Amino acid sequence: METKVLTTYKILKEKAFNSDIDESWINWAIEMIGAGYEGDHLYELAGISRPYNQFELQDLTTKVLKDLELDFSNKELTLKNYVYFIITNSINKPETYLKTLRELNTLCTELDFDKEYMDFYFLYFAKNDLIESEDQWYWTGADRTNIDSIIRTTFKNWNKKIEEERKKNAV
């Protein structure tokens, strides 16, 4: 029986943005096989070792995703699904907020400060500053006593928006 492999969201995001193939892909392939997925290309990917030939691996990973019927053609949707995934894994774990926001900050920067992701950018710097200092200048009203609550609310609002978009698009 096949089970859902949560790291697939990250893999699809990496493929959609044509990132280099690294050991995380091999680990994902092994995890997929362990979850019950099969396929010659998947097995081949699981057996790859360094040094990585990016040209060959880009072709192989495209075949793996096609075999598994995993679509990464819509970059915007793939990215939103990935952000939804990492937020969902962090939303009730304040100890992970800085790490999650760091990743979202990186995405925002890579997307040339796309306005849809700017809240994560500002929250990252606000949270980071409040670790070292009593003050931050990135999020109005945020301080050490309420920053985690602000982050949680922002995460919940993001996920709610994505869920509403999914419902609207499913009709």
| Count of beta carbons in the 10 Å neighbourhood of residue 14 | 20
pLDDT over threshold 80, residue 1? no
One domain, residues 153 and 112: yes
Residue 2 pLDDT level (bands cut at 50, 70, 90): low
One domain, residues 63 and 82: no
Mean pLDDT of the residues in the chain: 94
One domain, residues 85 and 162: yes
DSSP string spanning 77-92? HHHHHHHHHHHHTTTT
pLDDT at 166: 85
pLDDT over threshold 90, residue 24? yes
The pLDDT tens digits for 120-154 are: 999 999 999 999 999 999 999 999 999 999 999 99
**Exposure letters 62-101 (e unless 16+ CB within 10 A, then b):** eebbeebeeebeeeebbbbbbbbbbbeebbeeeeebbebb
pLDDT at 171: 64
The pLDDT tens digits for 84-132 are: 999 999 999 999 999 999 999 999 998 999 999 999 999 999 999 999 9
One domain, residues 85 and 154: yes
One domain, residues 81 and 161: yes
Q: Please state the domain count of the chain.
A: 2
Q: Quote the pTM value.
A: 0.84
Spatial CB neighbours of 153, under 8 Å, sequence gap ≥ 6: none
Q: Which two tokens stand for residue 164?
A: 């509403």
- Range(s) of the domain holding residue 13: 8-67
Q: Is residue 129 in some structural domain?
A: yes
One domain, residues 63 and 83: no
Last residue of a domain, one of 39, 67, 95: 67
> How far apart (Å, rounded) are the C-alpha atoms in residues 34 and 170?
31
